[in-house]
Amino acid sequence: MKSMLQIGVIGTGYVGLVHAITMAEFGMHVVAMDIVEEKIKQLQSGLIPIYEPGLEILLMKNQKEKKIEFTTDMKKTVENSDVVFIAVGTPPQADGSADLQYVKAVAEEIGKFINKDIVIVNKSTVPVGTGKIVKAIIKEQINKRNVQYKFDVVSNPEFLREGKAVEDCLLPDRVVIGTESEFGRERMEEVYDTLIKSKVPILFTSIETAEMIKYASNAFLAVKISYINEMAMLAEKVGADIHEIARGMGLDTRISPKFLNAGPGYGGSCFPKDTQAIVEIGKEYQEDMLVIQAAIQANKNQSKKIVEKMIKVLAEKKKLKDATVGVWGLSFKPETDDMREAPSIPIIQALVKEGIHIKTYCPQGMKEAAWRLSKEQKYIEYCTDQYSAVKGVDLLVIITEWEQFKMADISKVKQLMSGDIVYDLRNIFYKDDTVMEQFEYYGVGCVKK
Ligand code: NAD
């Protein structure tokens, strides 16, 4: 009988943690490692340091079955593994290119501890050519130790969506594997055996192609968002309705209705940084990524334009320094606590710059927002629920479409507010007649009734 595959996962953030728990769920034994001791202690006691629906239950189950353990010990992680996944951050540098310092540091550590034939898999989003860099770093370490082991570096980019990460990892649309050796391919087939049996498409490519598929996918989605946002801005001016435009477009199977929701612009830890990174990769190879550059610019303009309109509407009713705005939703999207590049940050900063006071509620984003908006703190009140956040406010802006906001008691909101302006940046109420009747309503790209 084949022995159970031993998996190491380095980095237990949004990607590494979900991936590690999924690998355990698929029947492998997993050692998940991070340098942040606090995080590892929390995980050892069965608590997850992020908000990701369904993850804690899956962790408890696999911890109980002793299929997953957490450590800060890199040596143990590498020595115990047949396959090691690198899932550390690749944040943007000042020029927009991806910062590879964490990936390189991990590669060096891995090289120091390899003690048998092993496959190293890069799950982090990295520029084309990083696979080769990682391979060279590991080889250098192995040579220094004067030992010989068979190893391969594989690229296996991650496509999970925060908020839906568990389902995305348990049943992804596809798995992309960039590998150059039979050894790497066979081991990855073993890792993804459960998905192969579930008929999930597995795409084997070169390492460079796999690395590029990730950027090409994210940049495409970002372009699609910027595209519909630009259409929404024009629709408002010509008196057209963006929902009907999106529906009319999306019924064309070549276009698809997904990612055609107008809003305040894309945010999060991936689209802003990955679009910048591919533009930088393009520069390195003298290829202008003009479409992506335009999408980045359009995205920057989107929240600016929206704030300008909001301020203008408010200024017609009240002195801005005496005004209070209620903000529903801070995280960059619903069902996550992730505040990285959330549109709520520049929107709130722009409002505060005008002297406007803010009352806000977000089911998961408030803790992180408090430190990201520490300079603005004296203007911001973090509330215990969505109704407290509208008490006495002149304008309510909905930035993130959490389900509970869609279910809100609108008459209660009306009673609590001082003013009657609703700025709905996710168009959650655009079809709601009770909202239209009671409020001065503004959506994104909606026809005003
Ligand atoms: P994250 O910041 O949430 O997690 C990274 C983790 O790596 C942290 O816990 C950090 O402590 C740990 N780490 C850093 N250096 C380490 C080291 N030397 N040894 C051990 N651990 C170390 O990042 P994330 O959101 O999980 O993203 C990870 C990668 O996956 C990035 O390249 C990102 O672009 C990509 N990605 C992210 C998403 C997403 O939705 N978050 C989706 C697909 C791909």
DSSP string, 383-403: -SSTTGGGTT-SEEEE-S--H
For residue range 220-233, list pLDDT tens digits in order.
999 999 999 999 99
Q: What is the mean pLDDT of residues 8-22?
A: 98
Which residues have CB under 6 Å of ligand 1?
A: 10-16, 33-36, 39, 87-90, 102, 105-106, 124-125, 158, 160, 162, 269-270
Q: Nearest Cα to 2, choosing from 199, 194, 190, 202?
A: 190
Q: Is the pLDDT of residue 361 over 80?
A: yes
pLDDT grade, residue 9 (50/70/90)? very high
Indicate the average pLDDT of the chain. Answer: 96
Q: Given ligand 1 and candidates 71, 97, 269, 274, which is best to mutate, with the most ligand atoms within 8 Å of its CB?
A: 269
Q: Nearest Cα to 112, choosing from 131, 138, 76?
A: 138
d(CA 158, CA 30): 18
67 Ramachandran zone, left/alpha/beta (phi>0; psi -120 to 50): alpha
Residue bearing the CA closest to ligand 1, atom 8: 13
For residue range 187-218, list pLDDT tens digits in order.
999 999 999 999 999 999 999 999 999 999 99
Chain mean position to CA 201: 23
DSSP string, 228-274: HHHHHHHHHHHT--HHHHHHHHHTSTTT-STT----S---TTTHHHH
Structure tokens at 220: 């495409």
Q: Is the pLDDT of residue 447 over 80?
A: no
Could you tell me the strand order of the sheet in which 68-71 lies?
A: 68-71, 29-33, 6-10, 83-86, 118-122, 151-155, 175-178, 202-205
Name the catalytic one among 270, 362, 383, 446. Answer: 270
Cα(330) to centroid of ligand 1, in Å? 21
Q: Is the pLDDT of residue 8 over 80?
A: yes
Q: Nearest Cα to 139, choosing from 150, 155, 126, 123?
A: 150
- At 449 the pLDDT is 58
For residue range 99-116, list pLDDT tens digits in order.
999 999 999 999 999 999
For residue range 250-291, list pLDDT tens digits in order.
999 999 999 999 999 999 999 999 999 999 999 999 999 999
Residue bearing the CA closest to ligand 1, atom 4: 13
For residue range 27-41, list pLDDT tens digits in order.
999 999 999 999 999
| 398 DSSP β-pair partners | 328, 424
Q: Give the pTM.
A: 0.95
- At 126 the pLDDT is 97
Ligand 1 atom nearest the C-alpha of 161 is 40
- Residues of the chain with pLDDT > 70, as a percent, come to 99
- At 44 the pLDDT is 97
Q: Which residues contact 204 (CB under 8 A, 6 or more apart)?
A: 177, 178, 179, 185
